[in-house]
Amino acid sequence: MTKDQPRYERIAIIGGGPGGLAAAKGLALEPIEFQTIDLYERRDKLGGLWYHNGDKNLIHPPIPNSDPDCHEIVDNGATDEDIYFSAIYKYMETNIIHRLMQYSELPYPPKTATFPKRQVVYKYLQDYVETIPDKVNVNLNSEVLELKKKNDEWELKTKDNTKYYDAVIIANGHFNAPFIPEVKGLETWNSKKPDTILHSKNFQDPNSFRDKTVLVIGNAASGVDISTQISTVAKKTIVSVRDLSNKGFENELVKYIGIIEEYDYKNSSVKTKDEVVEDIDYVIFCTGYLYTIPFLKPNTDIITNGRQIHNIYKQIFNIYDPSLSFMIIMQQILPLILAESQSALIARVYSGRYDLPSTEEMLKSYQKELKERGEGSNFHTFGYPKDCEYGEMLQALIDNKNLRHPGLVAPIWDNQLVEDRSQSKDIKNKRLEELVEHVKKLRSEGKDFVLLDH
């Protein structure tokens, strides 16, 4: 490797959502040029989660499901647009303010709503695409079928081609394989009452549940949002929570119950430790997702049960082969900001300007992080202030070697950004309180749900 020769000449990026786009820009802005930067996106447009397209009604999750390599059930007539639909739903807005939902040097337009609708975020991502230098080759409608290391090269197969790379960035997101826990009677309910159990990934429009009794499992972000929307039109909205003494955000239109211990399809009922709830028409699981990389062969030392990515340094680099890296696999973070933070480091490593520690040192760092965070989903769960600290740490790694310029510079965690992040939960809760009042008004007037204008 000479001064003008990158550590890895040929780079592939898998996924055209917020993470993949940031990775592409980071590589393209490096002062040391790569021979090839190829981005693969299996859908017909870039945008990832925020590209809302396809008929969700034609795709069904296996029930229950704890397999990261699960195969969803596809109805006859489903197209690729349907099969690769996004987990986003019709009436969707961000759960963080737009200042925390933007890349560096690209603010949202003036007068953007505090919590932008999905259409606004999608348009913003298209604007970001226009800022990426044309050194990146974008391959749409290109699903990666297999990725494996062969003779010190990464062999990447799509339906149409087999190509070889020196390094690969995986940015396929973690909203693909729905997790649906196994509970007594659930599988039988699903077989006897098909299409009455779904996952938040398959949720589309709350107004289709008018005059129905709907049970929502989980009260995290998606559970709160979906149950609130449904409570506009449903006969009854019930939410199952892990801890009745600590429900999180509460909606007075919703009845809260404990953990479901058994499903009884004959009586359309569920049983908790304390009660039986009857006449349930639909069950929606808002229980999160499993990590999955179905195209990576073999991946036994990277993904086991789907609860975390193993052997990973700083939530990015595979310890034993840093030519394989991962984008924004963490949860409860600021995805666009940290996507650029990670991309800035990956780009400098792959161009050869930044040297990672030895395998032994990276392994020690990983084991230390495992001990501090815990295994499973806890390992990737951040939230405030941990995501701030993480972003600052990545920037410090770059700055300590005087490598901030040239190249991609992620948003810097100044006082304003930290303050915005520290207040984001309170601001969102206030927004949810306003939304509940909006829903109560719509319900009293017999109207369908629509998002609250700002």
Residue 4 is predicted with a pLDDT of 81
| H helix runs in 172-249, sequence order | 186-192, 221-230
Average pLDDT over residues 280-294: 97
DSSP 6: -
Structural domains of the chain, with CATH = 10-177+290-413 (3.50.50.60), 180-286+434-444 (3.50.50.60)
- The DSSP string of 46-73 is S-GGG---S-GGGEE--SSB--TT---E
Q: Quick count: other Cβ atoms within 10 Å of Cβ 72?
A: 18
Average pLDDT over residues 228-250: 95
What is the C-alpha to C-alpha distance for residues 391 and 202, in angstroms, rounded to an integer? 32
SS (H, E, C) 413-440: CCHHHHHHHHHHHHHHHHHHHHHHHHHH
Average pLDDT over residues 125-140: 98
What is the C-alpha to C-alpha distance for residues 115 and 112, in angstroms, rounded to an integer? 8
What is the C-alpha to C-alpha distance for residues 156 and 170, in angstroms, rounded to an integer? 12
Parallel, antiparallel or unpaired: strands 153-157 and 167-170: unpaired
Is residue 235 classed as helix, strand or coil in its secondary structure? coil
Tokens 């070697």, residue located: 401
What is the C-alpha to C-alpha distance for residues 295 and 301, in angstroms, rounded to an integer? 14
DSSP 107: P
pLDDT at residue 2 tops 70: no
Predicted TM-score (pTM) of this structure: 0.97
Is residue 411 classed as helix, strand or coil in its secondary structure? coil
Average pLDDT over residues 226-255: 95
Residue 73 and residue 57 in contact, taking contact as beta carbons nearer than 8 Å? no
* Closest among 286, 231, 224 to 254, alpha carbons compared: 231
What is the C-alpha to C-alpha distance for residues 376 and 353, in angstroms, rounded to an integer? 33
Taking only the tens place, the pLDDT of each residue in 14-62 is 999 999 999 999 999 999 999 999 999 999 999 999 999 999 999 999 9
Which pLDDT band holds residue 272 (cuts at 50, 70, 90)? very high
Residue 155 is predicted with a pLDDT of 98
Residue 425 is predicted with a pLDDT of 93
Parallel, antiparallel or unpaired: strands 213-217 and 282-285: parallel
* Structure tokens that stand for 151 in this block: 């003779």
What are the φ/ψ torsions at residue 14 (nearest 5 degrees)? -110, 110
Taking only the tens place, the pLDDT of each residue in 168-198 is 999 999 999 999 999 999 999 999 999 999 9
* Structure tokens that stand for 10 in this block: 């040929």
Residue 146 is predicted with a pLDDT of 97
Using alpha carbons, list the distances in angstroms from residue 45 to 17, 294, 340. 10, 21, 21
Is residue 200 classed as helix, strand or coil in its secondary structure? helix
The distance from CA 126 to its chain's CA centroid, rounded to whole angstroms, is: 18
Taking only the tens place, the pLDDT of each residue in 95-105 is 999 999 999 99
Q: Quick count: other Cβ atoms within 10 Å of Cβ 208?
A: 14
Which pLDDT band holds residue 3 (cuts at 50, 70, 90)? low
The distance from CA 298 to its chain's CA centroid, rounded to whole angstroms, is: 23
Residue 453 is predicted with a pLDDT of 85
- The neighbouring-strand residues paired with 238 are 215, 255
Sign of CA dihedral 386, 387, 388, 391: positive
Taking only the tens place, the pLDDT of each residue in 352-404 is 999 999 999 999 999 999 999 999 999 999 999 999 999 999 999 999 999 99
Q: Quick count: other Cβ atoms within 10 Å of Cβ 355?
A: 10
Residue 69 is predicted with a pLDDT of 87
Mean pLDDT of the chain: 96
Average pLDDT over residues 160-168: 97
